[in-house]
Structure 1
Amino acid sequence: MVTYNILDYSPIDEGSDARHALLHTTELAKGAEKMGYKRFWVSEHHHVRSIAGSSPEMLMMHLADSTEHIRIGSGGVMLPHYSPYKVAENFRVLEALHPNRIDLGIGRSPSYRLVNRAMNESKGKRLSYEQQIEDIRHFLSEPKANHRFKDLTAMPVIETVPEMWLLGTGQGSAAIAAGQGMAYAFAHLGKPEGGLEAVSHYRNHFNPSPLLSSPKVMISVFAVVAETAEKAESLAKAFDLWLLSVESSSPPPYYPAVETALARGFSALEREKIRHNRKRMFIGTPVHVAEEIKKTASTYHADEVTIVPNVYGAENRMKGIALLAEALDIRKAE
C-alpha cells in the first residue's frame, strides 16, 4: 500500500517575510500530521531569496518539537557541503530527542558553485560523494573495523537511528543507493524523463544491507491543487512565474502572488520553458491530481509518494494538502 508524505520549501510569499514563511511551514507540518500523512520533510536551498528553508536540521528540530508522531526529515541534506561526521552528530541529536521519528534524506545539490565554495573554503581535499555516504553509515549505524575513523564515535550514543534515504534524479544516484543498500527517493518533479530506468536500475542492482533488506522507492511530485480547475490553473501560473524567476539573473526575494502572475505577460521563450516545466507538475482538482499521483505511483511501483505543494499562499498550501488527503483517502490508508 502506497503511503503519502509532504515536502515543504518554506516559500516566502509576496508581501510576507522569512519568519512567517518558517512559521507557515510549522503550521503545515501540524496540519499534515492531523491529516494522516506519514512524513513531513523540509528542503535545503541556498542563495534562493524566495525560500527560507536553508538549514533543514535546525527547522527539523523545531518541527519535531511542534508535532507528536509524524516523521520529520530532510529532503535533503546536501552532503557535499558538509562533514559526514557533523551531519551524523546533528541527526543523532535529533533522533535522541525524537526517537523513531527522524529521516535523513541525503542529496547532492547541483546548486550554485559559489555556495559550495563558501561551505568548503577552508577545507583541503574533498571526499567523493560515495565515500561521504559510507562515512555517514559508519557514524550512524554501521561502524566498520577498518574505517579510517574507527576509533571515533559520533555522539550521542543512542539505541535508535534515523531512517536514511538517498535522493536523486537519475541512474547515477540510483546506482549509489542500490550499492549502499539504501532507500531511494526519485525526484520525479525534477526530471520525470528517465525516472523509470533509474528506479528499475536501483531495484535490479539493490544490495541488501543492515540499513535495508529489500529495495524501497519513494517518488516526489509537484502538486497544484484547488477546489476548481480554474483556481488550480491560476495557482499554476504563479508557480510558472516562480520557476522562471529562480532561473533568472535577478530573481525577486519572494514567491510571486497569483495577481502578479496573471498581470504579467510571457515571451515566446518563457512560454516554451513553461510548457516544459508543466511536465513536472500535476495541476487540477483534488480528484484529478489524486488520480495522476496514483497512476504515477503505480507506474513506478513506488512504496511512497512525497507531495510538494509549492504554490503561492499559506492558506492555499494547507487547503491543497487537505483536499489531497481526502481525495487519496489517506486516513483510511494509514
Structure 2
Amino acid sequence: MMTRLNILDYLLIDEGKTAIDAFHNTTELAKLADDLGYHRFWVPEQHHALSIASSSPELLMMHLAGQTNNIRIGSGGIMLPHYSPFKVSEIFRTLEAIHPNRIDLGMGNSTGGRLVNHALNEEKEERLTYEQQVRDIQKYLSDDKESSHRFQKLIATPVTDTQPEMWMLGAGGSSTKIAAELGTAYTYAHFIKPFDVGIEIINTYRKQFKPSLFHDKPIVSIAVFVVVGKTTDEAEQLAKSFDLWMASLETAKNPPYFPNVITASKKYFSPFEKQKINNIRKRAIIGDSSYVKEEIQKLIAKYNCDEVILIPNIPGIENRKTAIKLLAKEFQLT
C-alpha cells in the first residue's frame, strides 16, 4: 500500500493578515487537501504564540470536519498535562459522534513553557502521570467496565459505535514506551529531531507494540517541515520567510506574524542566527516538487513508516495551496 500523505497546518497568521484570515485560510487548505486525496489534516495546540491561531484544536476540528467530506481531521496534538482525561474523552466522543470514522486524537506531553503551564494549571495540587492519562482515555473511549479503574463506573458520553484513532506524538522518551505498551499509533517528530536515533525509536516501538482495542498492529507516521515551490529558486525564496520565523522562535522571540518574503529578504542574520538556521534546515525539505518528493521517499525508506505528515510553513495561503497541489500531483494522490 502506498504511504499515506497528511498535513499538519499551523494556522499561520501571515504578515499583514489577522487571526480571522488564518482561520479562513486553513479552512481553504483543508478543503483543498480533502479534494486532492490527502488522508489526514491535523491542527496543533499552541498557546501564547502570536503568529499561530491554533490554541483550541478541538474547536477547529469541529469546524474543519464540517467543511470537508472525506479527509480525517485531528489534533497534532492535545497537550494532555493540562487537562482531565475524562473531559478530553467526552470532547473527542462528541466529535466522533458528529463525524464518525473521521476523527484523530493526537496526544502530546508538552507544557508550552513555564507561564503557559502555570496559567493552565494554577492551584492544581496533583497531576496524573502522562501514561495514566492515556490509560484513562483508553478506558473512557472503550467503555471498559471490567478493569479496576478508580472511576470504573464512569461513562464518557456520548456513547458512540465508532472511536477516534489514538496517536501518541513525540520524539522519543516516554511517548514511545506508552504508545507501544498501550497499543496506540505513533508519530515521530522528525521536524524536531531529524537524527538517526529516530530509526531506533521507531524500531523499538514496533518491537514492543502490544495490540489493543484501538490498533491491532503498529502504525507509524513521521512529521517534517516542507517548503515547496514551482522551481528550486522559488522554494529558496519562500524558505527565507520560514528561516526568519523559525530563527525568531528559537531565539526566545514571539513574532507577531509569519513574515513575507520581502521582509525576510531584508533581514540581516547574525552568525549565531545563521548557525540556528543551518540547524533548522536539517529539519525541513526545501525545493521544487520533484526534489521534495524524492527526499520524502528517502525518509519513508529510512523510517519504514506508514504515513508522512507534511508541515507546509510557507508564506501566503496561495503558496501553501500550490505546494500541496504540486505534491499531490507528484505522488499521484486520488
Q: Above 0.5 in TM-score?
A: yes
Residue type of the alignment partner of 1:313 = G
Aligned to 1:173: 175
Q: Is the 8 A contact 1:6 1:307 kept in 2?
A: yes
Unaligned runs of at least 5 residues, structure 2:
none
Aligned to 1:88: 89
Once the 2 structures are TM-superposed, how far is the Cα of residue 69 of structure 1 from its aligned partner? Answer: 1.2
Q: Which residues in structure 2 correspond to 1:167-206 (within 5 Å)?
A: 167-193=169-195, 194-206=197-209
Residue 265 of structure 1 aligns to a residue in which SS? coil
Aligned to 2:305: 302
Aligned to 1:14: 15
Residue type of the alignment partner of 1:163 = E
Residue type of the alignment partner of 1:178 = A
Identity of aligned residues (%): 54
Once the 2 structures are TM-superposed, how far is the Cα of residue 318 of structure 1 from its aligned partner? Answer: 0.6
Residue type of the alignment partner of 1:302 = C
Q: Is the 8 A contact 1:220 1:308 kept in 2?
A: yes
Q: 1:3 to 1:249 in 2, by over 3 A?
A: closer
Residue type of the alignment partner of 1:164 = M
Answering whether residue 244 of structure 2 is matched by residue 241 of structure 1, we say yes
CA distance in structure 2 between the aligned counterparts of 1:291 and 1:307, rounded to whole angstroms: 14
From 278, 281, 294, the counterpart of 1:278: 281
Answering whether residue 162 of structure 2 is matched by residue 160 of structure 1, we say yes
Answering whether residue 326 of structure 2 is matched by residue 323 of structure 1, we say yes
Residue type of the alignment partner of 1:91 = F
CA distance in structure 2 between the aligned counterparts of 1:122 and 1:27, rounded to whole angstroms: 40
CA distance in structure 2 between the aligned counterparts of 1:200 and 1:142, rounded to whole angstroms: 31
Residue type of the alignment partner of 1:287 = S
Aligned to 1:130: 131
CA distance in structure 2 between the aligned counterparts of 1:123 and 1:83, rounded to whole angstroms: 12
Q: Which residues in structure 2 correspond to 1:221-232 (within 5 Å)?
A: 221-232=224-235
CA distance in structure 1 between the aligned counterparts of 2:46 and 2:333, rounded to whole angstroms: 29
Residue type of the alignment partner of 2:13 = I
Aligned to 1:119: 120
Aligned to 2:217: 214
Once the 2 structures are TM-superposed, how far is the Cα of residue 80 of structure 1 from its aligned partner? Answer: 0.6
Residue type of the alignment partner of 1:30 = K
Q: 1:142 to 1:292 in 2, by over 3 A?
A: farther
Q: Is the 8 A contact 1:171 1:197 kept in 2?
A: no
Residue type of the alignment partner of 1:28 = L
Give the superposed CA RMSD: 1.0
Q: Is the 8 A contact 1:171 1:201 kept in 2?
A: no
Answering whether residue 97 of structure 2 is matched by residue 106 of structure 1, we say no
Length-normalised TM-score, structure 1 = 0.97
Length-normalised TM-score, structure 2 = 0.97
CA distance in structure 1 between the aligned counterparts of 2:138 and 2:280, rounded to whole angstroms: 35
Residue 218 of structure 2 aligns to a residue in which SS? coil
CA distance in structure 2 between the aligned counterparts of 1:262 and 1:282, rounded to whole angstroms: 20
CA distance in structure 1 between the aligned counterparts of 2:255 and 2:98, rounded to whole angstroms: 38
Unaligned runs of at least 5 residues, structure 1:
none
Residue type of the alignment partner of 2:177 = A
Task: Give per-residue Cα distances to partners, 1:64-99, cap 9 Å, x unaligned.
Answer: 010111110001101111110100000000000000
Residue 93 of structure 1 aligns to a residue in which SS? helix
CA distance in structure 1 between the aligned counterparts of 2:213 and 2:161, rounded to whole angstroms: 15
Deviates most, 206-215 or 90-99 = 206-215
Once the 2 structures are TM-superposed, how far is the Cα of residue 110 of structure 1 from its aligned partner? Answer: 4.9
Residue 330 of structure 1 aligns to a residue in which SS? coil
Residue 5 of structure 1 aligns to a residue in which SS? strand
Once the 2 structures are TM-superposed, how far is the Cα of residue 171 of structure 1 from its aligned partner? Answer: 3.9
CA distance in structure 2 between the aligned counterparts of 1:142 and 1:171, rounded to whole angstroms: 29
CA distance in structure 2 between the aligned counterparts of 1:291 and 1:264, rounded to whole angstroms: 31
Q: Is the 8 A contact 1:48 1:246 kept in 2?
A: no
CA distance in structure 2 between the aligned counterparts of 1:298 and 1:109, rounded to whole angstroms: 29
Once the 2 structures are TM-superposed, how far is the Cα of residue 173 of structure 1 from its aligned partner? Answer: 1.5
Aligned to 2:78: 77
